[in-house]
Amino acid sequence: MRITIIGNGKMARGIGTRVRAGGHALTILGQDSAKANQLAAELGAAAAPLEPAFITGEVVVLALPYRAALEVATRFAPALANKVVVDISNPLKPTYDGLAVSADTSAAEELQKLLAGKALVVKAFNTAFASTLVEGKVGGQVVDVFVAGDDARAKEQVLRLANDGGLHGVDVGPLARARQLEHLALLGIMLQQQLGTAFNTGWKLQLPL
Ligand SMILES: NC(=O)c1ccc[n+]([C@@H]2O[C@H](COP(=O)([O-])OP(=O)(O)OC[C@H]3O[C@@H](n4cnc5c(N)ncnc54)[C@H](OP(=O)(O)O)[C@@H]3O)[C@@H](O)[C@H]2O)c1
């Protein structure tokens, strides 16, 4: 698959590492081309300016803060049409003790509304911390990637991306499940201080034998 990641921060590095581990072609688009070039060189990927013509992947990961993801999606809506758009955001309040979206929606659903059904929005990767994605494992166990979406094919592509990269994709249902995924991520963030951990824990779904 051809994957485009918009953003060149911590999650771009984590997800990009897994994309490349899975043997997929990756282009990093950043607002700061020096940073995008540096990350791309590290990952063995291509870099390009943040312009619509360079959004060439069939899967586009928005590795951006929630508000920036909405902004970029608004700006590039025509270029995102018919593509699988992966929302990884956790729309945290500035106080880090709650979510900045109301309980009857999620960042992913807001993004889907904004794109007016023209792109296929999938929620994924938001419950995994960036450093654990670089490693692919936490405590010797493969990182779970919970995937929610309304389009079966789009969701399948994102599950494949996670699995190819050595992670464990878990289909959690329709896009509305993003509400629970965003709260799960919030709990993980809030627990770091209490556990004395450094954003290096993970959520694992254990299945019966
Ligand atoms: N960090 C984690 O462990 C983690 C885990 C799960 C989910 N998430 C979610 O993943 C997303 C990215 O987080 P991160 O930790 O990767 O953040 P980060 O390291 O701060 O990177 C954010 C990226 O967004 C870019 N950006 C910011 N505003 C922009 C705009 N208006 N237009 C274009 N690019 C813009 C930044 O560009 P510049 O470098 O040029 O400023 C940077 O490349 C967030 O939504 C977060 O909630 C993070």
Q: Pick the residue whose CA is nearest to atom 5 on ligand 1.
A: 129
Q: Is residue 207 part of a domain?
A: no
Tokens 């004395």 map to which residue?
196
The pLDDT of residue 124: 99
Q: Is residue 204 part of a domain?
A: no
Indicate whether residue 188 lines ligand 1 (CB < 6 A): no
Q: Is residue 143 part of a domain?
A: yes
CATH number at residue 23: 3.40.50.720
Domain total in the chain:
1
Using alpha carbons, select from 124, 113, 131, 111 the residue that is nearest to residue 157.
Answer: 124
Indicate whether residue 126 lines ligand 1 (CB < 6 A): yes
Q: How would you write 74-92 as a 3-class SS string?
A: HHCHHHHCCCEEEECCCCE
The answer to whether 141 and 154 have CB atoms below 8 angstroms apart is no
| Type and span of the H or E element at 136 | none
Amino acid at 22: G
Q: Pick the residue whose CA is nearest to atom 48 on ligand 1.
A: 11
Gyration radius of the chain's alpha carbons: 16
Handedness of CA 22, 23, 28, 33 (dihedral sign): positive
Rounded Cα–Cα distance for residues 130 and 181 (Å): 16
Amino acid at 208: P
Domain of residue 165: give its range.
2-195
The pLDDT of residue 165: 98
The pTM assigned to this predicted structure is 0.98
Using alpha carbons, select from 174, 179, 198, 177 the residue that is nearest to residue 188.
Answer: 198
What pLDDT tens digit does each residue of the chain (209 aa) get? Answer: 999 999 999 999 999 999 999 999 999 999 999 999 999 999 999 999 999 999 999 999 999 999 999 999 999 999 999 999 999 999 999 999 999 999 999 999 999 999 988 899 999 999 999 999 999 999 999 999 999 999 999 999 999 999 999 999 999 999 999 999 999 999 999 999 999 999 999 999 999 99
The pLDDT of residue 116: 87
Q: Pick the residue whose CA is nearest to atom 10 on ligand 1.
A: 89
Q: Is residue 29 part of a domain?
A: yes
The pLDDT of residue 46: 98
Among 31, 125, 186, which is best to mutate for testing ligand 1, by the most ligand atoms less than 8 A from CB? 31
Ligand 1 atom at shortest distance from the alpha carbon of 32: 40
CA 81 – ligand 1 centroid, Å = 22
